[in-house]
Structure 1
Amino acid sequence: MAVLVTGAAGFIGYHTVKRLCLDGLDVIGIDNLNDYYSVTLKQARLDRLSELQGFHFQTMDIVDKPALMTLFEDHRFTEVVHLAAQAGVRYSMDNPDVYVQSNLVGFLNVLEACRHYRPAHLIYASSSSVYGGNSALPFSVNDAVEHPVSLYAATKRANELLADSYCHLYGLKASGLRLFTVYGPWGRPDMALFKFTEAILQGRPIDIYNHGQMARDFTFVDDIVESIVRLRPKPPVSDKEAEGVNRIFNIGRGLPVSLLDFVDCLEAALGIKAHRNFLPMQAGDVLKTWADVSALSDWVGFTPQVEVEAGVTQFVRCYRHFYQV
């Protein structure tokens, strides 16, 4: 009996696998190790995970339905933590087919495997991007989310609807996590914190969109993992025990930080001033995100709490060590 983590070589997947193994669980991790960003970084994460007792890795793409079904048949997972996806709002504008395959076909395959092999709980990553251009703040899981402003957001909203359908039809228990701007050690090179850090250390200017008039509910990766760990043994329930449930949770710090303040924190951690290149708003971006995390707090008694100053400092320390800067 084991827990499955898809996207195990990814940023959040790495931290999730590490925590589950340290908690004494057996974890099967899968990842297709695609080249959307540095495979070397993904392999470095896996090398660290390979040292942990209870971790087993297989290179696998969730689009490969026969392989995925065989994996589920062989292991009969107690829980599934589905983190594999094609990420990135801007990349989706140039490569839509990749998102359809990974985020739609791949997720449908995961649901089909869960339908047949019945894990007690499916936890899957959605995104705060599903809120699109919503103006009512903070964003609540009870808000209407029918107007995504990017293809990436549309695929994540589609995931939530697919999960609703499968839970209703087949009695699955699922928790969808709307993640808010996750950052931290071992973060992705396509994310702002990584790109800003790299540019500042190389003496290059950093691009700041909408002239800095943006804010994000930056959420440290350890708070995401703590939420997953607490949710894992607590699948959603309904009045009828045999009835399936798909419940949505926001996972964010619950405190928006302006982009310029975020850059200030990074400058302080690096001890270097950035050359700031102010640019107009980009297509697919939103002005502000802010999570109402009351559903998460009520269900598992936890609220994300790592402050940006501390989280950015941890990222910079990891970056300097890994890249020997």
Structure 2
Amino acid sequence: MPGLGYAIIKGLQTKTWEIEGVCMDYLLLSRLARLDVKWISELVGNEHFAGPKSNPFFELLMVTEGPVYLEVGEERLELRSGETFLLMPWEKHGCWKPIGAQSGFYWVQFAADPGLILHKEDAAERYPAVIPAMQDLRTSHSDSYMDFLLLPRQSKPFNRYELLGLFEKIHQQFHVPKGYFRYRATLLLGQILELLAQDVLDQKDLQAEVSSTFLLYRRLVNLLDETYTTNPSSEDLEQALHHNYEYLCQIFKKYASTTIGSYVHQLQIQKAKHLLTSTSRMIRDIAEEVGFQDPYYFSRIFKKLEGISPQQFRDI
């Protein structure tokens, strides 16, 4: 089953989304990105809005009172109250027409690692399907399978008052900095970005449905994680999950791209590696603890997965 990110990208391929006739671009933010708020301010009127500007950080604007006449590169935009716009690092911007004395916006500068990826609608095929099911495996690395939040370059979100409240809270953190104010500001920015991404899903009906087979897969993964040292049999799995073993194998292979037996071995070797480096216990005792009665078979599986023997791994 394709993941949520895949469903979103497919949506981009089949729909043209616009705000008052403006074709929308998007930015892809890795779920694992590290965010860091650098600065926030609320601008009102033209005093600090004249002349071209650029900076080395991403910049998110949200209009508190419109219109705001924003020029980005050679593009001239008229942003209304409640609209947002995301600027890339060093992207030149400024005003192309004076704004009213009461018009203004919040802007927050932030760093992201890895950075946001500017995503054109006609480039949808560049991004592969995301399979978040693999992230449920205890043996997968956190950065092995990337999934993204889809952020609109320009938007008019439904939940603008909630968003404005979060901008105000970040502004307060920097206006009266106390304790871990930067950490709190980063958490608030994460909420803002999640709300903007969720708004895309809500407005464009891109919610990915979770199938009953995926829920069964999650139950199977959890069961294996809890019982792998006992080498659960096919009968054990059938009795616990109330499904035929062949069907369970098909479901697991579909989502995890590996077999149940291979995953059990990966879990066993993962724990064995920890014991080899953190204890001085004999290898045969470690093999028995992780589920191998035969130490020679344990060494064979270990070398198959790691490329070296257990003793060589310990000596590194």
TM-score of the pair, normalised by structure 2? 0.26
User: Structure 1 or 2: larger strand share?
Assistant: 2
Q: Which has the larger radius of gyration?
A: 2
